[in-house]
Structure 1
Amino acid sequence: MSTDITHPAVYASLAGKSVFITGGGSGIGESLVRHFCAQKSRVTFVDIAEEASQKLVADIAAAGDPAPLFIPCDLRNVDDLRDAVDRAVAENGPINVLCNNAGSDDRHQTEDVTVAYWDDRMAVNLRHQFFAAQAVRPHMKAQGGGSIINFGSITWMVGDPDCPAYVTAKAAVYGMTRALARELGPERIRVNCMVPGWVMTERQVRLWLNEAGERQIEERQCLPDRLQPSDIARMALFLAADDSRMCTSQQFIVDGGWV
């Protein structure tokens, strides 16, 4: 049976919406950018990888979809993140959808973690999500609502042993999601947590997908197919669209049945 989706969903409510995506230059983030542009959203994305990001903009424009706005940004600098949000609002209008996607699952062992490295992992994987939500909130409130999608991971559910700082940060993302959903709910701002499994991005395949990894997937996933970035992006489209208007404070796990 083919795993290709020949007739993907089109969400009328996403056309013209202002969407802000972090870490949009590669991997899952690249797929998010492509999918929201295909929905005719007005997309802004930030990333530190300028060459790959500029190529993505050109590719999307060549395909005939609305070209996204790329803003170079190191999300560890919260002031730069805030400036990027301000520019996105100025050029694409008040933000309706925030995808807090950016993160890094670099491997490390407990005995090697320094205070500086720990703080850096929190800045890369957790802190910017909170401050991005803080920055877009006034714009969403003024429009009568919006959707914030925080990206977590199944790593904390299964207790991955080779990246404890990353696992800690991703567990915290769900707690933050629950708190923000409760606080922002009266403003009709929905806050959910996207939880990907092992997604076959170029980076994951290059660094970690070996024979043992393939065997682990076959043993752990219920479904035999390999997770693709597009599988995550399509769930994000649903959570961003009006179709999910009463979904908030939840985790949405897309992992092929791993956990």
Structure 2
Amino acid sequence: MSGFATYPSLRDRVVFVTGGATGIGASVVEHFAAQGARVAFADVAAEAGQGLAARIAGTGAPPPLAMVCDLRNVGGLQEAIARAGRELGPVQVLVNNAGNDDRHAVADVTPAYWDERMNVNLRHQFFAAQAVHSQMKAAGGGAIVNMGSIVWKLGMGGLPVYSAAKAAVCGLTRALARDFGGDGIRVNTVLPGWIMTERQIALWLDEAGERALMADQCLKEKIYPADVARLVLFLAADDSRMCTSQDFIIDGGRV
């Protein structure tokens, strides 16, 4: 991380990350901790979360507060955010990262599956923002970064419910930016392309897929979680103080 930007405004800032135990979320947690922020994260993956917290503590960075939470349980999510506020101070940065992009066929989608996918990919973002609003207002402002995806812009098939949820995230961002702006709270969306997390590599990356990806991207390099995390840092820091209600795409020029 030493070759990239340091943001003085992030030191001691309280950050809450959903889905922070693995993948992009884990990289976001690591990067905020390296900036000297006080980080809390919530994830259903207890063992991975504990391991991440231990690794960060071993670097000498402020150890994150790791909480086990199924974000489909709104009450549990609200309590996790409240706990972060009690133990670390008012949350000033929220990164709504958690999601699940499992593939699914149109014919297989039931009402129950639709509701569950919306809960995983959209609903918790609203209720997390709702829960941090009072803390951010008391702190004099804050930044919310909602994680979207380029899949709906590409018109990809094979995951229509996920695409619908991620398109809705962009609409949610614009509405929250308007409603929260008077309290000095900025809200933006990050739309990643195909990010090389361990999960993506294990499940979907093959030689044909990699060739197609490189053909589609303007930049002929793979994108990694750290690339996304550094964009999130910028949007959380005071350097982006007048950026709100916007979509920031990080896809190597694919869309």
Q: TM-score range by the shorter chain?
A: over 0.9
How far does residue 6 in structure 1 lie from its aligned partner after superposition? Answer: 4.8
CA distance in 2, matches of 1:118, 1:254: 27
**Equivalence for 1:57:** 53
TM-superposed deviation, 1:212: 1.7
Correspondence 1:100 to 2:96: yes
* Identical amino acids, percent of aligned pairs: 60
Where structure 2 has 5 or more consecutive residues not aligned to the other structure, the ranges are none
Count matched residues. Answer: 255
Provide the residue aligned with 1:181 in structure 2: 177
List gaps (5 residues or longer) in structure 1.
none
2-side partners of 1:6 and 1:28: how far apart? 19
Is structure 2 residue 3 aligned with structure 1 residue 7? Answer: yes
CA distance in 1, matches of 2:139, 2:201: 41
Paired with 2:126 and 2:61, the residues of 1 have a C-alpha distance of 30
Map of 1:146 onto structure 2: 142
Counting only pairs closer than 5 Å after superposition, residues 135-174 of structure 1 correspond to structure 2 as 135-174=131-170
The SS at the match of 1:44 is strand
1:41-82 Cα distance to aligned partner (Å, 9 max, x none):
000000000111100000001111111000100000000000
* d(CA) in 1 for partners of 2:2, 2:223: 17
Q: SS where residue 160 of structure 1 aligns?
A: coil
Candidates 127, 130, 133, aligned match of 1:131 = 127
Per the alignment, residue 79 of structure 2 pairs with: 83
Once the two structures are TM-superposed, the CA of residue 131 in structure 1 deviates from its matched residue by: 0.2
Write out aligned runs for 1:12-31 (5 A).
12-31=8-27
Aligned residue number for residue 196 of structure 1: 192
Distance 1:150 1:52 in 2: 22
What's the CA shift string for 1:62-112, capped at 9, x where partnerless? 111111000100000000000001100011100000000000000000000
CA distance in 2, matches of 1:142, 1:224: 45
Matched residues in 1 for 2:135 and 2:51: separation? 29
Aligned partner of 1:251 in structure 2 is: 247
User: Aligned equivalents of 2:165 and 2:98: distance in 1?
Assistant: 12
**1:72 corresponds to:** 68
CA distance in 1, matches of 2:161, 2:247: 21
Distance 2:221 2:54 in 1: 31
Alignment equivalent of 1:210, drawn from 194, 206, 211: 206
CA separation of 1:56 and 1:184: change in aligned 2, threshold 3 A: same
CA distance in 1, matches of 2:219, 2:240: 25
Aligned residues of 2:214 and 2:221 also touching (Cα < 8 A): no
C-alpha distance in 1, partners of 2:210/2:11?
A: 38
2:37 corresponds to 1:41: yes
Q: TM-score, normalised by structure 2?
A: 0.99
Counterpart Cα distance in 2 of 1:6 and 1:73: 32
